[in-house]
Amino acid sequence: MKMQLQRPSRSDLLLVLVYWLLAVPIIVFSNQRTYGLERAVAGVLYTITLDSAAVYLLVFGFLPLVLRGRSPFILLSGLVLFVLIDAHFYWLGYRIVLGYQDFGWSPLVILSGVVRHTQSYGMLGILLAGKRYADVQRRLLQTQQAQTESELRNLKAQIDPHFLFNNLNVLRGLIQQDPAEANEYLGRFANLYRFLIRHKDDDFVPLADELRFVDEYVYLLRHRFGTAYDFQTELADNLAVEYLLVVPGTVQLLVENAIKHNAGDEDAPLLITIRATATELTVTHPRRPKRTAIDSLGTGLANLRERYRLLVGQEIRVSDTAATFAVAVPLVAATRNRPVAPAKTHPEPIV
């Protein structure tokens, strides 16, 4: 078994120093009456050396091997060898320093040395091992947080409002046919992208803002598809939408997904219903697959699922039947005395 001793950190050394500063006066006071001050001080110095060495080997040598999952038989054999050698050093050292009388080596003497020295360094070992465990947990948490933040940045970077090009084509047609309507369309289009830019780094937005964003998005869709798609919003009674949070662009993505995969008809519009309660938001629509297969990798819904998993720790619910398709996402309650500031609703200059 090859043991690679880790180096203690400054905080580890500080903990050991504080421990001995507190323990030394107690040990000296209890031993000076029996052995005299000079031998008591010598015994304390030997205790500091032996106990610190034992704890160092256990915490920075054996403990990392245990955490790495090394062979239990090899670890047990090494530990037995360690305590036997440790017991010999314990009795031999104090025999010299404190002037113990000669004694014969025997299993009982060795066992007594193991027990007494374990009692001597046990508290320091527990404190240092506990601190090391806390340090490992803290680093693990930091690593997980950094990984989560990295995953979220990657997921946000995947959100590409590809309807940009379609809407620019609509805008070009309006400019030629109806300049006044084109101006209104451009204002709504600007409001939509203003929302995206404003919240591009946010993990959550108020549901009130998200619904206003969807209103702008629906306005653009009506110019693209006419009355082929119909939209309905149903909110629970007395629902405080300014105190409920949702991942930005959630409803827009679900509405876009519905239109992408389902055919609309001006004579029989496809109804897309947006429902919100105090705990979840659901987008539901009838299944009406387009005749031409849509080339889709399913990254939009997978992206949304992963963002909710990372941010909320909950899964979104997908209900896919022969008649309907629905996606429900959890809503996060904001603190009522500190609501998230709503977005501005009045037009702003386009820069």
**Chain segment 104-127, per-residue pLDDT in tens:** 556 766 666 667 767 777 788 888
Domain containing 177 equals 159-333
Distance CA 225, CA 202 (A): 31
- Whether residue 350 is predicted with pLDDT greater than 90 in this model: the reply is no
Domains in the chain, number: 2
| Of 170, 221, 172, the residue nearest 192 (C-alpha) | 221
Supply the pLDDT for residue 309. Answer: 84
- The residue-averaged pLDDT of 39-65 equals 82
Task: Let me know whether 175 and 145 are in one domain.
Answer: no
CA pair distance 340, 330, nearest whole angstrom = 17
What average pLDDT does range 213-233 have in this prediction?
89
Whether 346 is in a domain gets the answer no
Is the confidence at residue 153, as pLDDT, over 90?
no
Token reading at 56? 């160092």
Answer yes or no: do 276 and 130 share one domain.
no
Q: What is the domain-level CATH number for residue 233?
A: 3.30.565.10
Confidence band for 83, pLDDT divided at 50, 70 and 90: confident
On whether both 195 and 84 belong to a single domain, the answer is: no
pLDDT at 294: 64
Whether 344 is in a domain gets the answer: no
| Residue 231 banded pLDDT, cuts 50, 70, 90 | very high
Q: Are residues 200 and 145 in the same domain?
A: no
Clarify whether residues 145 and 166 are in a common domain. Answer: no
63 is a domain residue = yes
Residue 2 lies in a domain: no
Which of 150, 179, 199 is at the close of a domain? Answer: 150
Do 296 and 165 share a structural domain? yes
Does the pLDDT value for residue 331 go beyond 60?
yes
pTM of the model: 0.53
Quote the pLDDT of residue 236.
93
Report the pLDDT value the prediction gives residue 130, as an integer from 0 to 100.
86
| Domain annotation covers residue 187 | yes
- Sign of the torsion angle spanned by Cα atoms 68, 70, 74, 75: positive
Which is nearest to 7 in space by CA: 49, 64, 50, 51?
64
Mean pLDDT of 282-299: 79
**Contact between residue 185 and residue 170 where contact means Cβ atoms under 8 Å apart:** yes
